[in-house]
Amino acid sequence: MMADEDIVLRAEALRKNFGKLEVTRDVAISLPRGARHALIGPNGAGKTTLINLLTGQLKPDAGRIELEGGDITGLAPAHRVRRGLSRTFQINTLFPDLTPIEAVALAVMERERTAGQFWKRLAAHGDAIEESFTILGQLGLADVATRTTRTLPYGQQRLLEIALALATRPRVLLLDEPAAGVPKDESAALFSVIAGLPSDISVLFIEHDMDIVFKFASRIIVLVGGGVLLEADPETVRSDPRVREVYLGHGHG
Amino acid sequence: MTDSIAPIESRDWLRRRSRWSPFEILFWLAALLPFILFPTYLPLASQIAIAALFAISVDLILGYAGIVTLGHAMFFGLGAYFAGIISVRGWGEPVSGLLMAGLFAGIIGYIVSFLITRVQHLALLMVTLGLGLLTYELANALHDLTGGTDGLRGIRTWPIFGQFKFDLWGYTGYAYTLALLFLCFLLSRRLVNSSFGLALRGIRENVKRMPAIGADHKGHLRLVYAISAAIAGLAGGLMAQTTNTVALDSLSFERSADVVVMLILGGTGRLYGAILGTIIFLVARDQLAGINPQYWYFGIGLLLMVVVLFMPTGILGFLARIVDRRK
Ligand SMILES: Nc1ncnc2c1ncn2[C@@H]1O[C@H](COP(=O)(O)OP(=O)(O)OP(=O)(O)O)[C@@H](O)[C@H]1O
Ligand SMILES: [Mg+2]
């Protein structure tokens, strides 16, 4: 299996039921290195659930997940993050009372395993703070680095979601509707930030806005009713009658 | 806000947050006043210093990491009994005895932390409460070791460093407790201003996000729980050594509840809130209960409600806001 070496994240036969509801049925995906893939599907299709399964927030009923060739199916979420699999949340999951510089520095120091050093002043972790600052700068958050997160405009909070994920230095980044709730003109800017991420990070993002999906994704996975309906390049997806019917036809966003 | 803040400035900002303020220096100087101004109140001052140390230990887990507890007297009492029992059995050297008492409580705290980190919310409250009650009954049952309801008898504390005898007036006692309070405060202050302190606040702010940034938050919780238990044990040990008595009330539910009340009065998550709350609580009790115990319960009930309703960040948080606004 030579081709395997390029696949960073692979899931096979993933299955998850909530009671009788089949939310994930036999899903297989593979994300190559440097991918910019989109995951689309109507509301309730099971997109967030799939991300929860991949990152370990939920345990699959069946199936297998591999990260860079290693089995991570039974690994705790934090351990997956340390192996390079990071995510953002559809609904802001931030630290409301921390400032962005504190939050990002915390993620950096957790990665560096220096967060437990209770004897050393925070300001003495110069490298971590420097790095956090660079990350915030990349996302245009440098100006608000020392403001309390809860006071930031919503759009900047969405960017901080991404900053926190980047601070873990991911090889694979799963973005759950990064632009959810952001005005259309701002969401284009947000996605150009995502497009500008280092090319060795593999990205899978969920997004409802088709213009954005077609612009930024090199490949699209269409999820319907918990199963993969189609995985193809944007052109094929755009012209597929089934996709038009179940997804585009019903009108979204 | 349009100009970009340089990283240097941001680092400065982080550093400023942990800098000593004139208020703090003033406060610690004021803590010396009882020696000169109110020597008759030295025993009360010691009692306050011990309770403040206990409140700081609870602030570390409740105020910073957000773990609610109704059973922390467990560690206070374990420290008190440990220090008392070794003295009864012939080792009355205070400093080493105290350190051992703190270590003992810390070890028990670390063991218990594995249970604590498994539960949340109401279950957590019940587990801490249950463990507290359990320890109380255990101490009651081990009559030969603890003296049961009669309390521990025959504690004798040797002079500190073989030099300073514990005098009737409480000069040595207050100097000893104040020194320990200050040392533990310095340690706690460094801890909350460290990356570890930041991680604890992260847990309090959003425990769901912690694993998603790769954090071993349960490891952090176990560590802070053990440290907190050790400090509570030191406070208990101090009580045993300065009063030469240990009774079951050191393990009581009331003590666990009182310390939470003190903390909420003063304000959680700011260390000084623990100290201020303790001072207000114990001074008010001393004055009001002297007149009539009913006044005391009425007064503390009223005060608690006023604070919770109108000063959600505690009295110190309220004062800090006024000072900030003036700037
Ligand atoms: N913890 C849960 N328990 C029970 N049902 C759940 C749970 N989480 C999700 N579901 C259900 O599973 C289905 C898929 O939910 P999911 O959040 O994965 O959809 P989604 O594709 O992300 O939708 P959206 O576009 O609205 O974000 C929905 O019907 C939802 O109600
Ligand atoms: Mg979703």
Asked if A103 lies within 8 A of B202 by C-beta distance, the reply is: yes
Q: How many CA atoms lie within 13 A of B256 on its CB side?
A: 24
Chain A neighbors of B14, CB-CB under 8 A: 101-102, 122-123, 129
CB distance B67 to B61 below 8 Å: yes
Asked if B212 lies within 8 A of A55 by C-beta distance, the reply is: yes
Residues B78-123: tens digit of each pLDDT: 999 999 999 999 999 999 999 999 999 999 999 999 999 999 999 9
The owner of tokens 């994240």 is A9
How far does residue A48's CA lie from ligand 2's centre (Å)?
4
Residue B3 has pLDDT above 80, yes or no: no
Task: Give the amino acid at A175.
Answer: L
Chain B neighbors of A107, CB-CB under 8 A: 213-215
- Tell me the pTM: 0.94
Structural domain includes residue B306: no
Residue among B13, B14, B191, B221 with most chain A CBs within 10 A, to mutate: B14
Q: Nearest-CA residue of chain A relative to B224?
A: A118
Q: How many CA atoms lie within 13 A of A229 on its CB side?
A: 23
**Higher-confidence position of B3 and B70:** B70
For chain B, what is the HEC assignment? CCCCCCHHHHHHHHHHHCCCCHHHHHHHHHCCHHHHCCHHHHHHHHHHHHHHHHHHHHHHHHHHCCCCCCCCHHHHHHHHHHHHHHHHCCCCCHHHHHHHHHHHHHHHHHHHHHHHCCCCHHHHHHHHHHHHHHHHHHHHHCHHHHCHHHCECCCCCCCECCCECCCCCCHHHHHHHHHHHHHHHHHHHHHHCEHHHHHHHHHHHCCCHHHHCCCCHHHHHHHHHHHHHHHHHHHHHHHHHHHCCECHHHHCHHHHHHHHHHHHHHCCCCCHHHHHHHHHHHHHHHHHHHHCHHHHHHHHHHHHHHHHHHCCCHHHHHHHHHHHHHC
What Rg value do the Cα atoms of chain A yield, rounded? 18
Q: How confident is the model at residue B132 (pLDDT cuts 50, 70, 90)?
A: very high
CB distance B139 to B81 below 8 Å: yes
Structural domain includes residue B13: no
Sheet of A21-32, strands arranged across: A21-32, A7-18, A62-67, A70-71
Report residues of chain A scoring pLDDT below 50: 1-2, 251-253
Distance from CA of B257 to the nearest CA of A (A): 27
Asked if B220 lies within 8 A of A103 by C-beta distance, the reply is: no
CB distance B132 to B251 below 8 Å: yes
Task: Give the amino acid at B71.
Answer: G
Residue among A106, A169, A172 with most chain B CBs within 10 A, to mutate: A106
Structural domain includes residue B321: no
Q: Is B210 in CB contact (< 8 Å) with chain A?
A: yes
Residues B114-126: tens digit of each pLDDT: 999 999 999 999 9
Q: Is the dihedral angle over the CA atoms B194, B200, B205, B206 positive or is it negative?
A: positive
Asked if A117 lies within 8 A of B214 by C-beta distance, the reply is: no
Give the tokens for residue B291: 């007149």
Cα–Cα dist B28/B62, whole Å: 24
The owner of tokens 């990152």 is A55
What is the rounded average pLDDT of the residues B232-239? 98
Structural domain includes residue B262: no
Q: How confident is the model at residue B137 (pLDDT cuts 50, 70, 90)?
A: very high
Residue B270 has pLDDT above 50, yes or no: yes
**Higher-confidence position of B6 and B304:** B304
Asked if A143 lies within 8 A of B4 by C-beta distance, the reply is: yes
For chain A, what is the HEC assignment? CHHHHHEEEEEEEEEEEECCEEEEEEEEEEEECCCEEEEECCCCCCHHHHHHHHHCCCCCCEEEEEECCEECCCCCHHHHHHCCEEEECCCCCCCCCCCHHHHHHHHHHHHCCCCCCCCCEHHHCHHHHHHHHHHHHHCCCHHHCCCCHHHCCHHHHHHHHHHHHHHCCCCEEEEECCCCCCCHHHHHHHHHHHHCCCCCCEEEEECCCHHHHHHHCCEEEEEECCEEEEEECHHHHHHCHHHHHHHHCCCCC
Q: What is the predicted pLDDT for the residue at A246? A: 77
Residues with CB under 6 A from ligand 1: A 18, 21, 23, 41, 43-49, 90
Strands A85-88 and A202-206: unpaired
Chain A neighbors of B231, CB-CB under 8 A: none
Determine which residue's CA is closest to atom 13 belonging to ligand 1.
A44
**B149 phi and psi angles, rounded to 5 deg:** -70, -20
Cα–Cα dist A23/B310, whole Å: 46
Homologous superfamily in CATH for domain A2-252: P-loop containing nucleotide triphosphate hydrolases (3.40.50.300)
Give the tokens for residue A155: 């759009």
Residue B2 has pLDDT above 80, yes or no: no
Residues B140-163: tens digit of each pLDDT: 999 999 999 999 999 999 999 999
Q: What is the predicted pLDDT for the residue at B35? A: 96
Domain, as residue range, for B207: 41-250
Strands A62-67 and A70-71: antiparallel
Q: What is the predicted pLDDT for the residue at A248? A: 53
**Closest Cα to residue B10, out of A62, A134, A53?**
A134
Q: Quote the distance between the C-alpha of residue B285 and its chain's center.
A: 18
C-alpha distances (whole Å) from B108 to each of B85, B105, B195 are 17, 5, 25
Strand partners, A222: A40, A230
C-alpha distances (whole Å) from B252 to each of A227, B247, B256 are 57, 9, 7
A residues 7-66 lying closer than 8 A (beta carbon) to B: 55-57
Determine which residue's CA is closest to atom 26 belonging to ligand 1.
A43
Task: Give the amino acid at B327.
Answer: K
Q: Could you tell me the maximum CA-CA distance found in chain B, to the nearest angstrom?
A: 71
Q: What is the predicted pLDDT for the residue at A103? A: 98
Q: How many CA atoms lie within 13 A of A92 on its CB side?
A: 18
Cα–Cα dist B234/B78, whole Å: 9
Q: What is the predicted pLDDT for the residue at A2? A: 44
Residue among A81, A95, A99, A161 with most chain B CBs within 10 A, to mutate: A95
The tally of domains found in chain B comes to: 1
Q: What is the predicted pLDDT for the residue at B12? A: 81
Q: How confident is the model at residue B174 (pLDDT cuts 50, 70, 90)?
A: very high
